Amino acid sequence: MVAGVFDSGVGGLTVLKSLVEAKLFEKIIYFGDTARVPYGAKDKNTIIRYSLEALEFFSNFDIDIFIVACNSASAYAIKELREVSTIPVVGVIESGVLALNQIKISKDSSILIIGTKATINSNKYINLLNKHGFYNITSKATGLFVPLVEEGIFGGAILNETLKHYFSDLKKPDIVILGCTHFPLISKEIDNYFGGVKLIHSGEAIVKYLNNNYIKESILFEQTKLEFFASENPAGLKEVANRWLF
């Protein structure tokens, strides 16, 4: 099986890493829309248009499944993508909520969702969580974490101040949904800030979801072939991939 993975930029490499580690695919083609990142500050129609263009890009390749690694695109564009796609389209929000639903926790667990403005304003996570019976939910746009991670800041004073800025008025939640591709890279710091919480990571969630819904054979691909494309500076994307993935 060959997967196409799409993100607004380099952040989706965190999802790619989980897919590679799970050995589910013979080949993965990654496309980062680096020329137009960030999506998280853009409006719904723009995010839909960009996502459809990304799907169009993948029409040049023979892929079996289109994986939207970007939470902001998953928040707004899945329906539109599915309407035009001839292959399955899988986003990270549905899989994140299902992953949470699979762990045995009570429905009154306190859940904190963090993501970009686009993801949080879409209410996609909250609506899906409500459908599964969870109601004790707080959501917060924490967009500053994105440029920090892009800058390679994974710890230290600036990150600590940003954690305080966003979280100091919150009670410790039971679960934090990392609703943005970049946040797994600072998951330890988020966990430490709250003094130990259960974290939901889009990459791990999508692996579970794919295993349950799409992967029919139990073949494990020890070496997933990878191809990287970007709408701007593909060499930069490859360089980040080498740093983050291997």
Cβ pair 196, 175 in contact under 8 A: no
Q: Quick check: is 205 catalytic?
A: no
E strands, 54-134, where?
A: 65-68, 89-91, 111-115
Q: Does 67 bind ligand DGL (CB under 6 A)?
A: no
Q: Which is nearer to ligand DGL, 39 or 229 (CB)?
A: 39
In whole angstroms, how close is the CB of 240 to ligand DGL at the nearest point? Answer: 13
Cβ burial of 216 (10 Å; 0-12, 13-18, 19+) is exposed
Q: Which stretch binds ligand DGL (CB under 6 A): 5-13, 57-65, 76-84, 159-167?
A: 5-13
Judge whether 165 counts as a catalytic residue.
no
Shortest Cβ distance from residue 214 to ligand DGL (Å)? Answer: 21
The one-letter code for the residue type at 187 is S
* Long-range residue pairs from 218-223, CB within 8 A, at least 24 positions apart, any chain: 220/23, 220/24, 221/23, 221/24, 221/25, 221/26, 222/23
Q: How far is the CB of 6 from ligand DGL (least distance, A)?
A: 10
100 binds ligand DGL (CB under 6 A): no
Among residues 24 and 92, whose Cβ is nearest to ligand DGL?
Answer: 92
The candidate with the shortest Cα–Cα distance to 82, out of 171, 169, 73, 152, is 73
Q: Give the residues lining the site for ligand DGL (CB under 6 A).
A: 7-9, 11, 37-40, 70-72, 115-116, 119, 146, 180-182
Catalytic positions are: 70, 180
